[in-house]
Amino acid sequence: MAASPHWPYRVPRKVWIPVLIGIAIVAFMVVPGCAVYVAGQRVPTYAISADTEDFAITNDIAALHYYGVGGWGVKWRGEYLIMAPYFSNHGFLGMFGKNGPDLAAIHEGVRNTPFSDAGLILVGHGHVDHAADIPAYAAAGLRPKQAGMIANETTLNMLAKIMPPNESFRCAESPLGNDEPTKDCTLRGFRVTPLASQHAPNVKVLGMEFTISKGTVDEPQPQLPARPVDYRLGNTWAYLIDLLDENDEIVLRIHYMDAVAGSEHSNISASLLQQHKVDIHIACVPGFHYVEDYPEWVMDQGQTGYVLMGHWEDFFQPRDDRLKPVTLVLGESKLNTFARRIESGKSKDARHISPLNKSDDDCPVDAEVCGPRGDSWALPIPGETYHFGVRAGL
């Protein structure tokens, strides 16, 4: 056979690097994970099931539930706020096909949590692992028009079909980024302040940076995104979530990031910190090494007391597979580094705060019910719930 006149030719770097990354991701997906240890503690093998008792709390306790990935729920004084959970785990190849939410996976993921009572949904950016299950929330039990949603313009435009004045949500609000609390979508006992932030690259290889599904969607769309990869990033927001007492005083401040950002692109203003320091930072761990000073800037600037190391597990595999850190970006050594940097970055003026329900009795060795934890941090297992007291001394 005659050789093609076009062969050999140089394949541009722009083409072969993404192809190699794709092959590597698929290869990693079929390799079973091994045991992972953080601070000498074994990470449980599988996600755990929520227990309705996790949410049976008194009014001076806040329950923080980890749904997995960027998804969290906060129960406070009888109300429930969620940071949009994602359970469909479409897989790397599934990202490019016409794949919608997996309703069975969502039902299983929210089981025994107050998901159907949620009054407010926060979304930090529009990527698939933050926004793609939202169209199925009503089918999964969220009562129509009960919840408001705070998200960037791109996310609201992508989800326009299920936004007000249609049936799924009570209100929708795009953050202004002026350090002001949201006004239209509120929830009793909570104050939410959006903070302009950034999204570090998803992967860096050979000095080249890759961020999936970049860009914005500037007009309301008549149809929902057809493929997971069609969920566009938009602008990235972090949130301050203040839990208020009956006099509207802040008793617990949570700082939530669902994407990595260094202090160059993200901060909490001095005027906000004068009101209250950060008690709990909900972190996004994968990619922290792509920026200069995360998590240190949060520890230092916020005088942060405690860190929940979120978004760490691989969401390219089904949720009931063996847990392992996000493929290619995170591993045992980086998880340990992140935990060490929390401890070393903690300000001496930070408030001492730790969960009430993570004693050795609550978390027997090898029971596989709690993630590893240190003095100022925990690595949450999907399905795990943390109780924090809001009174002095707790």
Site residues for Zn ion per CB under 5 A: 127
**Taking the complex as a whole, how short is the minimal distance between the CB of residue 190 and Zn ion, in angstroms?**
24
Residue 329 or 363: the one with the smaller Cβ distance to Zn ion is 329
CB of 153 or CB of 300, closer to Zn ion: 153
**Residue-by-residue DSSP string for 112-165:** TSGGGG--EEE-S--SHHHHTTGGGTTTTTPPTTT-EEE--HHHHHHTGGGSTT
DSSP string, 228-257: GGG----S-EEEEEEEE-TTS-EEEEEEE-
Q: Which is nearer to Zn ion, 116 or 211 (CB)?
A: 211
| Nearest residue (CB) to Zn ion, 72 versus 388 | 72
Q: How far is the CB of 212 from Zn ion (least distance, A)?
A: 7
- Report in angstroms how near the CB of residue 39 gets to Zn ion at its nearest: 27
Which residues share a beta bridge with 72? 66, 83
Distance CA 273, CA 226 (A): 41
Q: Where are the alpha helices (DSSP H) in 304-391?
A: 332-345
Closer residue to Zn ion, CB minimum distance, 127 or 319: 127
Q: Which two tokens stand for residue 291?
A: 């920026």
Q: Torsion over CA of 87, 91, 96 and 98, rounded to 10 degrees?
A: -50
Q: Which is nearer to Zn ion, 119 or 228 (CB)?
A: 228
Give the shortest CB-101-to-Zn ion separation in angstroms: 17
DSSP 95: G
Q: How far is the CB of 259 from Zn ion (least distance, A)?
A: 5
Transcribe 244-306 into DSSP letters.
E-TTS-EEEEEEE-SS---TTT----HHHHHH---SEEEEE-TTGGGSSSTTHHHHHHTT--E
Specify the residue, 200 or 370, whose C-beta has the smaller distance to Zn ion.
200
> Please, what is the minimum distance in Å from the beta carbon of residue 15 to Zn ion?
23
Lookup: tokens for 339: 């935990």
Is 345:10 a contact under the CB 8 Å cutoff? no
Q: Closest-CB residue for Zn ion?
A: 127
User: For residues 65 and 127, which CB has a smaller minimum distance to Zn ion in the complex?
Assistant: 127
As measured in angstroms, the least distance from the Cβ of 233 to Zn ion is 6
Q: CA distances (Å), 185 to each of 146, 162, 274, in order?
A: 11, 16, 24
Residues near 71 by beta carbon (within 8 Å), at least 6 away in sequence: 82, 83, 84, 85, 86, 87, 109
Minimal distance, residue 236 CB to Zn ion, in Å: 8
Distances 320 to 89, 228, 348 between C-alpha atoms, Å? 10, 20, 40
Closer residue to Zn ion (CB): 127 or 253: 127
CB 24 within 8 A of CB 355: no
> CA geometry: angle at 65 spanning 60 and 67, to 5°?
165
Output the smallest distance, CB 372 to Zn ion, in A.
Answer: 25
**In whole angstroms, how close is the CB of 313 to Zn ion at the nearest point?**
15
Q: Which is nearer to Zn ion, 55 or 231 (CB)?
A: 231
Determine contact, residues 186/121, Cβ cutoff 8 Å. Answer: no
Q: State the Cα–Cα distance between residues 195 and 48, nearest whole angstrom.
A: 32
